[in-house]
Amino acid sequence: MIKILKYGEVANSDIFARVTPTVNVEAIVADIIANVRENGDKALYEYCEKFDKVKLDALAVTPEEIEAAFAEVPADFLRILRTAAENIRRYHEKQKRNSFILNEQDGIVMGQKVIPVDRAGLYVPGGTAAYPSTVLMDAIPAKIAGVPQVVMVSPPGRDGKIPAVILAAAKIAGVDQIFKLGGAQAIAALAYGTESVPKVDKIVGPGNAFVAEAKKQVFGTVSIDMIAGPSEILVLADSTANPKHVAADLLSQAEHDKLASAVLVTDSDALAASVQAEIERQLPLLEREEIARASIDNNGKIIVAPDLQSGIEITNEIAPEHLELCVDHPFDYLDKIRHAGSIFMGKHCPEALGDYLAGPNHTLPTSGTAKFSSPLSVDDFVKKTQYTYFTREALSRVAEDVAYFARKEGLTAHARSATVRFEEEK
């Protein structure tokens, strides 16, 4: 049963405790990465056989396989995928940045170029569930950014295939290449390249502990989006919220993973008790009851605050991945929320909208990192290059100042590089 904690009556360490996965996979992942770097495709085939229990003839998904998968997906679901893709495109198009130029002073031009990375790698999880939504959320911003080549990896099933819905989503999103790869070995292949898999510049997408550790270890060779932890939801609700709805929303994240955390923060004792009872009523209705039960019992909590303002302060300290404002006038509170990955406004905006259809991205900062990081966006797939142009006359106006500054730092060669161009005039 989910526990109820009274803020101010229990230790803050209980209120703000986080899920801390104890599995240590650092050495295992390091060995996998080293093997892939040394042996390339040979290592990938061996890991597919070992971990995915399938012997592949080829790593790459063929155009024929994609077309066959597309034909296999029900028409109604293809319609929903296209609707979701259009909503995601519409939202992310607004994130595009433009290059700029400054030429307000005589003889001086400065600017910034916004340039997409050459190649982006998308990791799409497999295993207990297939997530076509992740394909759309990760691939569409990359294509909007102008990335020339988007490479996707996803683990095959024992039939040697990637689920048809994943391949259909990839086609709709415009993915350029797809490989049957999962786990740390897939991250290593994207980071270093093999005979079949091209090396990428950035890797994005969620995964298990092995994938997260692999992304951590290859960072620096490539860029990554984030080190994602277990999924989180925090519902901030007052006494007017419907306990049935709140319980359903908490369980929507609890069913993801036994390590997921579902938190309610409220100023109402009555709502806290009702939601606790409602969760117990709804749990047996879930197909993933065992997973959700473990999440709720081990990581779930209801925090009763003295007032809603205190609830907002608690929310900002937790900095949740997903935040629902289950109140009548949510825009009254929006400016007070400083730390959250994605905010769902009002009583009719369940977090599941953001997972699938609304448009904002669902690849979000977890484990409190919303205090300093952002959702996946078009910005993740571009880099900025700056440039500067000075005429001789413009340089002459500032050369002595540059030299003076440089000498203050003890860098006389820097100083001379600014003044040497005018020595013949003296």
Q: Phi/psi zone of residue 172: left (φ > 0), alpha (ψ -120 to 50 degrees), beta?
A: alpha
Separation of CA 423 from chain center: 54
138 closest CA partner among 149, 156, 153, 124: 124
CA-to-CA distance for 158 and 181, rounded, in angstroms?
12
**How many CB atoms are closer than 10 A to CB 87?**
18
Helix axes 209-218, 26-39, angle to 10 degrees: 60
Q: How many separate helices (H) and strands (E) can be counted in the chain?
A: 16, 14
Q: From the candidates 232, 321, 324, 351, which is the catalytic residue?
A: 321
CA-to-CA distance for 94 and 32, rounded, in angstroms?
39
User: With contact defined as beta carbons under 8 Å apart, do 119 and 107 qualify?
Assistant: no
Integer CA distances (angstroms), 266 to 5, 18, 84, 247, in order: 11, 19, 32, 13
SS3 category, 113: strand
Q: From the candidates 245, 322, 324, 362, which is the catalytic residue?
A: 322
Tell me if residue 321 is catalytic. yes
Tally the C-alpha atoms within 13 A of residue 168's C-alpha that lie toward its C-beta. 23
SS3 category, 12: helix
CA-to-CA distance for 401 and 406, rounded, in angstroms?
9
Residue 317 burial by Cβ neighbours in a 10 Å radius (0-12, 13-18, 19+)? middle
User: With contact defined as beta carbons under 8 Å apart, do 213 and 184 qualify?
Assistant: yes
Q: Which two tokens stand for residue 146?
A: 């102008």
Helix (H) or strand (E) holding 288: none
Tell me if residue 329 is catalytic. no
**How many CB atoms are closer than 10 A to CB 353?**
15
Active site residues: 321-322
